[in-house]
């Protein structure tokens, strides 16, 4: 192996080290409470070094948001073995909520925080591939449902968006403290209770 190759690998390794340190601090104290200095301290490098490997804070947040989508992919993996599309669609929403509740800080970064989208805007990156791909998986499942005779009279893309919005709405209200504020009869299970109402409805469609 050449020196150039090794250097490239070392550069990649340090980039991952920074991301790993950043993620650790995010989970420990939250995204907003984590500073570049914290991250540099965590991995025993100086602030300057962090800026050698990342253009700015948004770049770190974007890369971390991509890692979040990989983790969501892990949650989704088992879904693809489910042949019945309606069954898969139901489990997909359930899995989505489960991911959000078990990875609140990551979910926040992926779907609520502005930084990752700002990074995409201010860089030559073509699009939000992570979001496009995930929404595509939902759309494909809804399409299979329609091909089997479900959702008569509905349109694929808007219907898929509606379903995504519903699960995202529940998760984001929870994560941004709005369910806590409303004091439900059963606050600990309101997300899944709400999702069950949706299941009852689509079972008829």
Kindly state whether residue 33 participates in binding a second copy, applying the rule CB under 8 A. Answer: no
**Token couple for 195:** 């999702």
Which partner, a second copy, DNA, none, binds residue 154 by CB below 5 to 8 Å per kind?
Answer: a second copy
Which partner, a second copy, DNA, none, binds residue 1 by CB below 5 to 8 Å per kind?
Answer: none
**String of contacts with DNA for each residue 25-64, x by CB under 7 A:** ---------xxxxx-----xxxxxx-xx---xxx------
Question: Which region, judged by CB under 8 A, interacts with a second copy, from 41-49, 60-68, 82-90, 176-184?
Answer: 176-184
Kindly state whether residue 9 participates in binding DNA, applying the rule CB under 7 A. Answer: no
Q: How far is the CB of 7 from DNA (least distance, A)?
A: 4
First-to-final CA distance of the chain: 60
Kindly state whether residue 94 participates in binding a second copy, applying the rule CB under 8 A. Answer: no
Determine the Cα–Cα distance for residues 140 and 134; give it in Å rounded to an integer.
10
Place of tokens 């995202």: 168
Kindly state whether residue 49 participates in binding a second copy, applying the rule CB under 8 A. Answer: no
Residues that bind DNA (CB under 7 A): 3-4, 6-7, 10-11, 14, 34-38, 44-49, 51-52, 56-58
């Amino acid at each position: 192996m050449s020196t150039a190759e090794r250097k490239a690998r070392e550069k990649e390794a340090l980039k991952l080290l920074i991301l790993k340190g950043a993620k650790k601090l995010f989970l420990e104290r939250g995204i907003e409470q984590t500073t570049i200095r914290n991250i540099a301290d965590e991995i025993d490098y100086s602030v300057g070094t962090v800026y050698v490997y990342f253009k700015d804070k948004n770049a770190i947040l974007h890369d971390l948001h991509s890692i979040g989508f990989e983790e969501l992919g892990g949650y989704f993996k088992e879904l693809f073995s489910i042949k019945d599309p309606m069954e898969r669609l139901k489990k997909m929403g359930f899995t989505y909520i489960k991911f959000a509740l078990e990875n609140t800080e990551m979910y926040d970064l992926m779907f609520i925080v502005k930084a990752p989208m700002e990074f995409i805007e201010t860089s030559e990156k073509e699009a939000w591939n992570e979001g496009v791909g995930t929404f595509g998986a939902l759309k494909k499942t809804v399409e299979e449902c329609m091909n089997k005779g479900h959702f008569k009279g509905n349109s694929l893309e808007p219907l898929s968006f509606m379903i995504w919005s519903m699960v995202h709405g529940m998760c984001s209200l929870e994560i941004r403290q709005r369910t806590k504020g409303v004091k439900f009869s059963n606050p600990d299970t309101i997300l899944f209770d709400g999702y069950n109402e949706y299941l009852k409805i689509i079972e008829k469609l």
